[in-house]
Structure 1
Amino acid sequence: MIIDIAFNYSSTQYKGIYNGKKKHEPDVIKVLERSKIANVFPIFIGSEYRSSVECLAAAKTHNTFCTIGIHPNDATSHKEDLNSLIELYYNIMNGKIDFESKDFLPYVAGKSKNHPGKNNSASFFTNDSKQLFSIEENKNDAMNYNLQNSSHDQLKNDRGIMQPNTIQFFNKSLSTNLLAIGECGLDYYRDSSTKQDQKHIFSQLLELNHTHYLLHNRESFRDFSEMISDYNIKGVLHSFDGTIEEAQYLIKKGLYIGINGCSLKNQKNVEVVEELDLHHILIESDAPYCRIAKSYAGHNYLKDFIIESYSSKKYKEDMVMKYRNEPITVYEIVEAIANIKNITFEHAKKTFLENTITCFGSTLENAIGN
């Protein structure tokens, strides 16, 4: 088993949309099928409120884990959703999400704007003051919702509710689908969000004092390290491309280092990975982004696990696209790191799984079991 700690499940690319244009039908189920066959278990990561809800619903459906958060690049455009995200968090923690409500599936599919924090009629939080979904009274309405804009092919379950085709990852029943808060942090490389908005949202999410975080930092380490210094948080800084000194600070802080293809772009990146403590590395695809490109220094360390992909313009649903990453390519990350560190693939793979379990604790450990 390999745990892919960062899969952007809600990306429009898995809905067949690229740069606003529809190129093919939604195929996330095929992506998940390939992942499951390869024994890669992806964690679905949220980047703003809607994607967080979508990842939560998908994690519930596919019996895996997700994160909820607001990416720093979305901080300005989605700052009005912060309170809704925080409300979502507390309702998850209190077990008050009604996955079968009359609003939940339509909201995930983009068919309803009703959601907590903006409209009190939204009913996917369970409490006595809100009208919950009645199977008998609303069966026809549920069946009539057209969910073609969601990332699933749909089918009916035995109670008449629209449900996606499912790939079941963990065999055990999960006590929660929420593994961490994130993606959240700071990003000064891009200017899509103001520093003020980024810091405000990041500080509010840190104030939740959740057990684990999926963190983001890009060209902002001074402010980032200052902001986390007062918090005793656990988790991982994903898509790491910083210096060894920065990595050592994070490790001393009790955090892990997430490595993907973008962490292996140049020789300096490779040297950092070579020096990193093997027992503090976690593996991720960050799909559909961050595959190890041929031009990257890390590609020189691939020998046996280059995942076959195609680059033709004609869509092939049963193959990995060359320019769209998938969780299955984490095998390339494992091999590259193993060869950089001159250890066996199996030793690296085993260690990274152990690291992931240690990082996220009993929630993940209990799901994996023996």
Structure 2
Amino acid sequence: MLKPTTLKAGSLPRYFDVAVNLCDDMFMGKYRDRVHHEADMDTVLRRSRALNVDRILLTGSSLKESRWSAEQVLRVNKLPDAVQYPHLYTTIGVHPCSVLEFEPDPKTHLGKLRELVARSVADGSVRAFGEIGLDYDRLQHAPADKQRAYFELQLKLATEFELPLFLHMRNALDDFLEILVPFLEGTRADGLALKNRKVLVHSFTGTQKELDRLLGYPSVFLSVNGCSLRTEENCQVVARIPLDRLLIETDSPWCEIKRTHHSYQFLTRAPNACYPFEYTVPEQTASKKAPRINYNEFLPLPVVRSEKYSAQVAAGAQPLVKSRNEPGLIGQVAEIVAALHETDPEHVVARCYANSLRWLDLS
């Protein structure tokens, strides 16, 4: 049970997690093709709301996943107890590692994507076009030439709508900018240009030189997560991202902050500005009938391995799953960013939340 504490009057944080892969198998209880427990995505969402996450942007990475995510947005936001959940939105697009799904009939597949975007714009579930882009670190999923072709094709589709972009870039900045910038600046020979030129390069893990090049385009924002904070060099780069261009995310269930990360040293135990909850855990005596429960090092929440999750739920617990990231842990990203920028966590949380609203044209 989370027990709130008051650190400062009016200091409760508000988080907007701009990248959550809710459709991932792990939130369905499936790990490496084996079912370990029942689906618990609603439990995860309710816990994130209790941890002050009040908005979440789901990530669409394929036509199928985008359609599913749009359905979940409508379902959750209309629940009778929707106040117990974050308000959801989604992106719609095809990830660079998934672009071979356009074949063998790109025109038909693009038509289905267009239809889904149009319908989701009308019902308000979609707020950004993506996740599209280039990933040259994982060419085993799709060769570079196919990634480039379908990145450009999806950008052409994006010009038909007034949605900001949600972009993926890994080790491909030259080609990424060569394709993107003419759409941003309206310099293509065919005259196609983005109606909404706000862009988020999500899960940024690039170098200082790559950061500087991206910051040269004033409508570009960047978001960071645990993968952005692995090494000392990563942390030095994040420290140089201007706070008025920065958003935070978990990219859950991936990209958790691990003990091996350089950034781990900046995490502190609750209560703190990012998690104003007392760190109180029940006393327990281990036995065969009641094995000892482990708790998160920083939050007063039980943690279990996925294969033991169901037994803990049956005993009345609602534990975190070991090594599975979730949106409620976004406060850890905020705490680290504040330490790297040598500023108050409250300032980082408020600034990143406001930036998220600005990028997505939300009030």
* TM-score, shorter chain, exceeding 0.5: yes
Partner in structure 2 of residue 236 of structure 1: 200
Partner in structure 1 of residue 94 of structure 2: 70
- 1:175 Cα offset (Å): 5.8
1:15 aligns with 2:28: yes
Partner in structure 2 of residue 165 of structure 1: none
1:5 aligns with 2:18: yes
- 1:24 Cα offset (Å): 0.7
1:54-80 deviations in whole A, cap 9, x for unaligned?
Answer: 001001112321011111111225545
Partner in structure 2 of residue 180 of structure 1: 128
The TM-score normalised by the length of structure 2 is 0.74
SS at match of 1:290: coil
- 1:354 Cα offset (Å): 1.0
SS at match of 2:239: helix
SS at match of 1:236: strand
1:232-286 deviations in whole A, cap 9, x for unaligned?
Answer: 2322111100012222322332110110000000000000011111111101100
Q: How many residues align?
A: 287
Matched-pair identity in %: 28
Among 230, 234, 259, which residue is 1:265 paired with? 230
In 2, distance between residues paired with 1:343 and 1:285? 21
SS at match of 2:74: helix
Q: Is the 8 A contact 1:262 1:292 kept in 2?
A: yes
Among 151, 157, 168, which residue is 1:216 paired with? 168
Partner in structure 2 of residue 51 of structure 1: 65
Provide structure 1 residue ranges, at least 5 long, that are not aligned to the other structure: 98-173, 366-370
The residue identity in structure 2 corresponding to 1:230 is P
- 1:28 Cα offset (Å): 0.5
In 1, distance between residues paired with 2:228 and 2:260? 13
Partner in structure 2 of residue 171 of structure 1: none
The residue identity in structure 2 corresponding to 1:201 is Y
Partner in structure 2 of residue 103 of structure 1: none
Structure 1 residues 4 and 287: CA distance shift in structure 2, 3 A: same
CA RMSD, aligned part only?
Answer: 2.0
The residue identity in structure 2 corresponding to 1:2 is Y
The residue identity in structure 2 corresponding to 1:74 is S
Q: Is the 8 A contact 1:7 1:286 kept in 2?
A: yes
1:299 aligns with 2:313: no
In 1, distance between residues paired with 2:133 and 2:173? 10
Partner in structure 1 of residue 148 of structure 2: 199
1:23-76 deviations in whole A, cap 9, x for unaligned?
Answer: 111111111111122221211111111101000100111232101111111122
1:346-367 deviations in whole A, cap 9, x for unaligned?
Answer: 1110000111111111xx22xx
The residue identity in structure 2 corresponding to 1:252 is G
In 2, distance between residues paired with 1:302 and 1:226? 38
SS at match of 1:13: helix
The residue identity in structure 1 corresponding to 2:230 is K
- 1:181 Cα offset (Å): 1.1
Bigger CA drift: 341-350 or 239-248? 239-248
Superposed, 1:1-370 pairs within 5 Å as: 1-40=14-53, 41-63=55-77, 64-77=88-101, 79-80=103-104, 83=107, 86-92=110-116, 94-95=118-119, 176-190=124-138, 191-208=140-157, 209=159, 210=161, 211-232=163-184, 233-253=197-217, 254-304=219-269, 306-307=298-299, 308=301, 310-312=303-305, 313-315=307-309, 316-317=312-313, 318-361=318-361, 364-365=362-363
- 1:322 Cα offset (Å): 2.2
- 1:86 Cα offset (Å): 3.5
Provide structure 2 residue ranges, at least 5 long, that are not aligned to the other structure: 1-13, 78-87, 185-196, 270-274, 276-297
In 2, distance between residues paired with 1:24 and 1:82? 37
SS at match of 1:185: strand
Q: Is the 8 A contact 2:203 2:223 kept in 1?
A: yes
In 2, distance between residues paired with 1:237 and 1:84? 28
